[in-house]
A and B are shown apart, each in its own frame.
Chain A
């Protein structure tokens, strides 16, 4: 007969002082009944066919878990009119040589007002959060003079840029406090797109980015198919949270809040676009704007939408698609980028909002209470000018040569647990995957747990083949693929050049710092 599972081992735990161990019979229409007196009396009448419901009282005081939280809906005073979105300055080119961009990036402590009314001790590139934009063209030789004036080691990782391994700013090449280092690389043709830069010091990446170290990279194509007349705006999405004194809030990692941060990744209750809270973009009816959106948040995933209008999705991590795709919303996971065309389809004088719709990336244990609340990111305000005549947009943007699965010589299975990959924590001295230059391989990224994990491969862009067996509807170049709960994504990658050691990791920064990372060596 079916056994009754007794919970007597818990009986000795005072917190489980009201343990129960029983079977009850209830109609299926009430799937989770409590034991009733009559049911308990009828225990002897139960047979193997009766459903099993064991119940256990849970008298633990969950106060800190269910009550302590900062207000997650930070809003400015209603009376305050939104500021116009501030576009980041472009790093000044110090070189007069053709096809050469030579810039200086200094990382240093600063005191900045991130939220109106308070001042925070932060880290900043060239005194700015976000840092200035590195604006380059395909084929440019880029020289970055990095000055690390932080009180700790750091690196600059050029996220998504295809460059020599020793220029990648990986955890293997830390730049000590007070040191100088030149990063030198050449932008490969065909890689026009939106990228970003940020520190990548092992176990300190999340902290340093939260303190303010991140900035955009825009690589322009030799021949961009989109009209140059389109206003081109970079939107860097971040979130953060602060103590009452304005300092950036980092809980004790062993506190409840710290453990939830480690689980979910650190989310903030203040949402920024280019360092501003709820700024505005002015658009004219009929106008088309090109937005490059970067998710630089440690853990927050944005489900982007503009109520009342659709988005023309034209590109992602590695640049433009072959054809535009009209969508109502876009899920932008950590470190991912998208290019969208925002068309002024509403009448003059109206306004709408760029929203982050709810996205349930969380495990049930640590899902925030208000995860299902939509958040405003940016006010989109239509000017009173009369509508512009529509402009023609190209139907074909470019050709993306497909990588052929017939060329693949290996399939790499990456099973992501919570905080580790293939059962192993990051070891800087270990090579997890060894391959050869010129090879084409398939990576199968499995998510074993009930929380999304965005997987990032350094150095080599890839093409997603399928997600949970469903073929990718269109081809694009990616360097991050979000793998939702218990799902599997496959991508194909060609190691065309640049041997060396490359990181792959979950781009939830708390997970990456915890050791959810490995090393690919291309020989």
Chain B
């Protein structure tokens, strides 16, 4: 099956449009049935999704898999993010710096030591793979269904709150592409800084929206 037809999304212009146009996925459970496709088709789908979701816009290489630095993390302070009041008022506090990481499967500096399930959990639940055990997560409630009691979330502005609505198979395909479709690049990115709650305050009480989204059609839809 051609990779493109696997997507149930209607548009790919911007991530925000993707979530608006995607049908709800199957639920919070991340089943371990990662794909019904062959490995190469899965990687091809993942490649297309990584490009169309602009992973390279922050993690390097823009939309060009042939570019030097493709997905291997920020290489200049100018690519870092400043988070906090300092973004609009120099010197204001608190001020945090976050840095898009190396997404290539390098063991020392990239995602080589993380399983595809840990990458799936990062995309679906926003959980940092180096701070979340390699387990199937079946809940979005702290302390339930393997969801950590003290979750450590990916640093802002990683847009997982939008991308978590993608179907399981698409998130698994992105993980497959990163782990098995890329060559490892040894490039160390400094750790991001952030509040002591590791951004949990930003995502408390699902205040950034429900997952999964309400069934179609809602009152706004026809």
Residues of A within 8 A of B (CB): 1-10, 12-16, 18, 20, 26, 28, 31-35, 48, 51-60, 62, 65-66, 254, 256, 259-260, 262-263, 363-366, 415, 417-420, 423-425, 446, 448-450, 485-486, 488
Contacts and interface: CB of A to CB of B under 8 A. Distances in A.
A48 B62 CA distance: 9
B81 interface: yes
A488 B109 CA distance: 11
B24 interface: no
Contact of B159 (A7, A15, A263): A7
B16 interface: yes
17 contacts: A6-B14, A6-B159, A10-B157, A34-B86, A34-B89, A53-B81, A57-B84, A58-B83, A58-B87, A263-B196, A364-B191, A364-B193, A418-B128, A423-B133, A446-B113, A448-B113, A449-B131
B94 A66 contact: yes
Contact of A15 (B63, B79, B88, B201): B201
Contacts of A56: 81, 83-84, 87, 156-157
A450 B14 CA distance: 32
Given A3-B63, A9-B161, A57 B82 contact: no
B80 A31 contact: yes
A52 B56 CA distance: 12
Contact of B150 (A54, A55, A259, A449): A259
A425 to B, nearest CB: 5
Given A51-B79, A55-B87, A365-B198, A9 B159 contact: yes
B82 A5 contact: no
A54 B78 contact: no
Interface stretch (B31-39, B40-48, B170-178, B202-210): B202-210
Contacts of B128: 418
Contacts of B132: 417
B194 to A, nearest CB: 5
A377 B58 CA distance: 46
B54 interface: yes
Interface residues on B, range: 35 or more
Contacts of B62: 1-3, 48
Interface of B: 14-16, 19, 54, 57-58, 62-63, 76-90, 94, 96-97, 107-109, 113-115, 118, 128-134, 149-150, 152, 156-157, 159, 161-162, 188, 191-198, 201-203, 207-209
Contact of B16 (A6, A54, A363): A6
A394 to B, nearest CB: 41
A20 B202 CA distance: 15
Nearest to A59: B85
Contacts of B115: 423
A423 B107 contact: no
Given A56-B83, A256-B197, A32 B97 contact: yes
A8 B15 CA distance: 9
B208 A363 contact: no
B156 A10 contact: yes
B195 A65 contact: yes
Given A3-B63, A9-B159, A65-B195, A58 B96 contact: yes
B202 A15 contact: yes
A9 B213 CA distance: 13
A418 B118 contact: no
Nearest to A259: B150
B85 A51 contact: no
Nearest to A448: B130
B212 to A, nearest CB: 15
B16 A8 contact: yes
B159 A55 contact: no
Nearest to B13: A3
Contacts of A363: 191
Contacts of B114: 423
Contacts of A419: 131, 133
**Which of A33, A256, A418, A423: most chain B CB closer than 10 A?**
A423
B80 A365 contact: no
A242 B216 CA distance: 55
A6 B150 CA distance: 27
B31 to A, nearest CB: 18
Nearest to B200: A259
Given A65-B197, A424-B133, A2 B94 contact: no
A33 B81 CA distance: 10
Contacts of B152: 418
A9 B133 contact: no
A54 B85 contact: no
The 3 A-B pairs with the shortest beta carbon distances in the complex, nearest first, are A423-B134, A55-B87, A58-B84
A260 B196 contact: yes
Given A5-B54, A259-B150, A419-B131, A35 B202 contact: no
A52 B79 contact: yes
Contact of B208 (A13, A18, A417, A424): A13
Contacts of A58: 83-85, 87, 94, 96, 156, 195
Contacts of A33: 90
A4 B63 CA distance: 12
Q: Which residue, of A57, A66, A488, has the highest number of chain B Cβ atoms within 10 A?
A: A57
B113 A415 contact: yes
A365 B194 contact: yes
Residue of B81, B90, B107, B193 most packed against chain A (CB within 10 A): B81
Contacts of B94: 58, 62, 66
A4 B58 CA distance: 9
A259 B197 contact: yes
A57 B203 CA distance: 15
A415 to B, nearest CB: 5
B96 A4 contact: no
B22 to A, nearest CB: 13
A32 to B, nearest CB: 5
Contacts of A13: 202-203, 207-208
Contacts of A20: 87-88
A486 B106 CA distance: 13
A363 B79 CA distance: 21
A415 B150 CA distance: 21
